[in-house]
Structure 1
Amino acid sequence: MPYNSVNTNVGAMVALQNLNATNSDLAMVQNRINTGKKVANAKDNGAVWAIAQNQRAASGSLNAVRDSLQRSQSTVDVAIAGGETVSDLLLQMKEKALAASDTSLDTASRTALNEDFMALRDQVSKAVSNASFNGVNMLDGSQVGGPVTIAALADESGQSKLTVMAQDMSLGTPGSAVTILATDSIGTQTAAAAMITTIGTSIANVSTALSKLGTGSKSLGNHLTFINKLQDSIDAGVGNLVDADLAKESARLTSLQTKQQLGVQALSIANQMPQSIMSLFRS
């Protein structure tokens, strides 16, 4: 190896190699600090990047699941509000029917009670038809296709669904929880007496239907809470894979900057070595 040569400066070559390595490490650390990630793209670590991308896809899909659950829960809650209104109206209707069943009641009073009863009956239909959210009504059996059963997304695959059954509360439709017809009245004592039993059955049916809707809404809420936690856990897992430890990178940056300065000095010294050969030719 030529130790004293102007053609080949081994010291400068080694110093340059080390300086280039330091600059490369420094660029990598600066990139981590700028992006906040130790794996910002597939070149940094292909396997980890691929895993992180798959988990990001799962987390993004859970946004759609959460939206579906929230929308479904709102629809069920609106149905519950409508059903509770129907239940309250039925209680008032039973009171009117009971009062009208009194044989000692005069005609004017019976007529007034019957008008109140029919007004309450019509309000039941209005409450049911208005209990819709985003165009979905779980109570109205008179609409085309009948009341709508909710089937919310339960996972990112789209295969699992969380179902809440529709509860028909329309007047006069087959299978409705409300057994009162849209034309029923309590205009006579006999009709009023018979209506007491009919309304009692309707109240019991509506209470059962509301219980089912309430259970369904609670299930949607519980699953929504789980999805939120699951998404947070996935996001945290992705962060563990790709996020940089900025405190550690800051310390490494300081070290590499010092090493870079020393490398520049070492290269400068190595470049001056051939000039020392000139002293051998002085007289």
Structure 2
Amino acid sequence: MSFSVNTNVGAMVALQNLSSTQSQLMETQNEINTGLKVSSAKDNAAIWAIAQNQRATSSSLNSVVSSLQRGQSTIDVALSAGSSISDLLLQMKDKALAASDTTLDANSRSALNDEFKSLRDQITTTITNAVFNGANMIKSGGTTIQALANDTGSSVITVQAQDLSLGGVNMGSALNATASIGTVTTASAMIASVGAAIANVSSAMGHLGTGSKALSSHQTFITDLQNTVDAGVGNLVDANLAQESAKLQALQTKQQLGIQALSIANQSSSILLGLFR
């Protein structure tokens, strides 16, 4: 075995091993600190790119959920207003039926007509206030909902507006803003008109209810999809902290041993001094 003060092979090997251990230790500490085994492209370019694409998908799905929620809230407001309008129509039919009685005196007929017109005007007030986020689905020319259905915006769920305004397609031309039951003839005719309006409003409410259910079901699906995507990203990039913790302790011990080995290797050259005593 030869000794040289110029080249300490043992120290070089010990330093190389110590540097390798130090590099592994820093990598493990980074994984523990971030909770990620792939935190940047330099860790694993392919996995990082896949994870980033899936993160983009998950982020986009947040917008889809928000769109579905806004659409559902708009429909729920329309449904609430529609339910109130249906109740008003039931009362209006009662008033029309009562006013069709030929034995009523003028005062009673006038009182019934005033109540009928008050109920009629409440319908308009209800429709005017059935607004959510600037959208009204039950006025004349109301807003049709088109909620996002996927993360690319290429698919939407459409829920048609339902015109519940006086004189509109569902109310009928007879039940307009000037409808009244001031005479036996108008009262008798209004019974059928209001009855038809009740049936049409019920059908319109059914369409809105079906649309609301469709948005709710799709929202549940999108939420589940987003959770699955997030879990998939975690499988790709998340570190196993229990495993990394054990690895950290092993590397710390290895580091200490490496320092000792380097120290011993550095002391080997001093052995040469003993040869000259």
Q: Judge same fold: TM > 0.5, yes or no.
A: yes
Q: Which residue of 2 aligns with 1:21?
A: 20
The residue type paired with residue 73 of structure 1 is Q
Q: Which residue of 2 aligns with 1:237?
A: 232
Gaps of 5+ in 2: none
Q: Which residue of 2 aligns with 1:194?
A: 189
TM-score by length of 2: 0.97
Q: CA deviation at 1:240?
A: 1.1
Q: Which residue of 2 aligns with 1:72?
A: 71
Q: Which residue of 1 aligns with 2:125?
A: 126
Q: CA deviation at 1:79?
A: 0.4
Q: Which residue of 2 aligns with 1:96?
A: 95
TM-score by length of 1: 0.95
Structure 2 CA distance, aligned partners of 1:212 and 1:137?
Answer: 15
Q: CA deviation at 1:274?
A: 1.4
Pairing 1:274–2:269 present: yes
Identity, % of aligned pairs? 63
Q: Which residue of 2 aligns with 1:224?
A: 219
Q: Which residue of 1 aligns with 2:170?
A: 177
Q: Which residue of 2 aligns with 1:61?
A: 60
Q: Which residue of 1 aligns with 2:31?
A: 32
Q: Which residue of 1 aligns with 2:209?
A: 214
Pairing 1:154–2:149 present: yes
Q: CA deviation at 1:172?
A: 1.4
The residue type paired with residue 6 of structure 1 is V
Gaps of 5+ in 1: none
Structure 1 segments, 4+ long, off by >3 Å, are: none
The residue type paired with residue 272 of structure 1 is Q
Structure 2 CA distance, aligned partners of 1:128 and 1:263?
Answer: 80
What is the root-mean-square deviation of aligned Cα atoms in Å?
A: 0.9
Structure 2 CA distance, aligned partners of 1:101 and 1:260?
Answer: 100
Structure 2 CA distance, aligned partners of 1:102 and 1:166?
Answer: 38
Q: Which residue of 2 aligns with 1:168?
A: 163
Q: CA deviation at 1:279?
A: 2.4
Q: CA deviation at 1:205?
A: 0.2
Q: How many residues align?
A: 275
The residue type paired with residue 170 of structure 1 is S
The residue type paired with residue 155 of structure 1 is N
